[in-house]
Every structure is written in C-alpha cells, then in structure tokens.
Amino acid sequence: MDPPFNEIYKNLLYKQITNTQNNVPQIPFSFSVTVAVEEVELPVIDVSCLIDGAEKEREKCKEEIARASREWGFFQVINHGISMDVLEKMRQEQIRVFREPFDKKSKSERFSVGSYRWGTPSATCLRQLSWSEAFHVPMTDISYNKDFTTLSSTMEKFASESETLAYTLAEILAEKSGRKSNFFKEKCVRNTCYLRMNRYPPCPKPSEVYGLMPHTDSDFLTILYQDQVGGLQLIKDNRWIAVKPNPCALIINIGDLFQAWSNGVYKSVEHRVMTNPTVERFSTAYFLCPSYDAIIECSGDCPAYRNFSFREFRQQVQEDVKKLGYKVGLPRFINHLC
C-alpha cells in the first residue's frame, strides 16, 4: 500500500547529510523541523448568513472573512453548504483509493497521466522530503470522467460545491479590497482548478521529515477538508503554530495570487504538514486557479508586485524547485520600480 519511501530515500533517511556538501543548497530557516509548537484554533466564521441573513449580518460576515484574510491568511468556515454526508463519503472513497497496492495506484487510469504523486523527486536532504502521496486531479478530469463509480460521483459533488464556495469567498474578498468581483468567474476556469487528495503515511523519523514541506499555495485560495489527526501548521507572528482540527469546519487559506492581486492586503502564509510515527492522515483540497494566460495585476498606485501571468508564475516556481529544492514564489515578482 505505502509508496517505497524507505527503499528510494534510504540514503537520506539513514545517512547523515549536511548543508556543507556542495550538492545541497542552503535551506531557508523556516524549513527547520520544530515538533513542540502551540496548538491554536483558527478564526471560525459562520457563512450561513451570506445566504439567508439580513444585510447587516451579511456585511459583518464579509468583514470577518476579509479581516481573517488580512491578519491570518487562514480561517475556518462552518455552515458552508457542503454536507457532512458528502465530506464523509469523500473521506471514505479517498481511503479506499489509497489502500490499493502501490503499483496499482501509480499506474491508475482513473485520471490523467501523472496525477498520482509521492515523495519529493528533487530532494537532496531530509528537510526537502515530503512523506506523503497524493492524487492531483484537474477539475476537467472529474467533469469528463463518465465511469459513474462512487469515487467519481463523490468527487464531482465535493468539487462542484467547493467551487461554488470558492467563488463566493473570492468575490467577497475582491469586493472588500476594492477590486472587481467578476474577475474570478471570468478568469478561473475548470482546466486549471483542481482537487488534491492527500495521504500522509506513518513516518519512522517524524522529528526529521515533513509530511509536506513548508510552502505557500500557488493559487488564489484553497479549501481544505482534513481528518482529526492533526499535523497542519502555519506561521503566525513569526512563529509556527499548530492548527487544532475542527470536525465541523473547512479550512480556507489565501494563495500567492490573491496576495499579489490585492497588493499584499491579503496574506499568503507559509504552512506545512508534520508527520506522525503511528497514525496516517488524510485530507482533500480544492485549489482556485486562473487560466494560464490570465494576468495577475497588482492593485494600487504603488504595486508591490509587477504584472505576471499564471503560466509565468508556475514556470518560475518549477524552475526554483528543480534548481534549489524549494519554492521561492512571490519574492521573484517584486516590483523594484515602486
């Protein structure tokens, strides 16, 4: 069932590797593994009033969403319109798929070639290794999948309802930052938005290996449904904090593109997933992304970032990961003329 982590990464797991070696790039400070961090509950926002609340209640909710996006870059939503039945079915189907033998998963024809991913092929040291496996599934794969299995129907339900929620939140954030709210329905298309089903197997070296390396998301916003195992951590006030799981909530986080588009008003916050020595962890995330040719135009009289296309941003991220072993992201696009 598990990918062959121990076999493929045995040199990293069982031999001491230091950054003094010429072939290992310098690792950012935030990549140091810290186990003991404070567990906190993210801001919790009841979004039901956006549908059936009075105008005053709707405005209060919108402001709470904008404030959390400015101050935290992460928040939780409850009464979000996606039923617990759909979420539980999504979890069950995800577990069933990941329980399949590794050879079957890695050659699965359910989705596009390359959808199944595991580990970190570019890793040159333990801190660059992600102890996880995932199915990275474009929305178009879900829409056009006509095999009518329980998995495909469940994914379609989860994806379409996540998509609706994502547009709602994005339009609110656009409104609260003074931008056009119709941008997302015009520019964010199904062939670039995607679901990612994640599994984090038990890890023999949880104090040294991440489930998912520290990173920011290369999208506008992410909707995450996770189990109750825990392990998600983020940076708040220059320190790592652990997110306390909430069984009734979905986690929302701001991506790099929203930070640039809002001229830094909303924060794309670095986060990571820690491993567990005995328990596996599951999560499913929806990523709201624009078309590859969409231009991310920073707002304001003094834009912090230069204009760039989503295609250019993705290519730069891929080049940095290949060359350095980690993502640089928005600092590559700072506007030095302002």
Average the pLDDT over 229-250 and give the result: 94
**If we measure between CA atoms, which residue out of 203, 245, 239, 233 comes closest to residue 91?**
245
Cα separation, 252 vs 91, in Å, equals 18
Can you say whether the dihedral through the CA atoms of 47, 49, 50, 55 is positive or negative? negative
What tens digit of pLDDT does each residue of 183-201 get? 999 999 888 999 999 999 9
Task: State yes or no: pLDDT of 257 exceeds 70.
Answer: yes
Question: What percent of the chain has pLDDT above 90?
Answer: 70
Question: Considering only CA atoms, which of 274, 123, 271 is closest in space to residue 210?
Answer: 274
Query: Which of the pair, 256 or 178, is modelled with greater confidence?
Result: 256
The share of the chain scoring above pLDDT 70, in percent, equals 92
Report the alpha-carbon distance of residue 188 to residue 191 in Å, rounded.
Answer: 9
Backbone CA torsion sign across 68, 73, 76, 80 = positive
Spatial separation of the C-alpha atoms in residues 330 and 125, rounded to whole Å:
24
- The answer to whether the CB of 204 falls within 8 A of the CB of 297 is no
Q: Is the pLDDT of residue 17 over 60?
A: no
Catalytic residue among 91, 196, 281, 314: 281
At 54-77, the pLDDT tens digits run: 999 999 999 999 999 999 999 999
pLDDT digits (tens, 9 = 90+) for 74-105: 999 999 999 999 999 999 999 999 999 999 99
Q: Look at residue 60 in the predicted model and tell me its pLDDT.
A: 96
Euclidean distance between CA atoms 233 and 274, whole angstroms: 7
281 among known catalytic residues: yes
What is the distance between the alpha carbons of residues 254 and 266, in angstroms, rounded to a whole number? 7
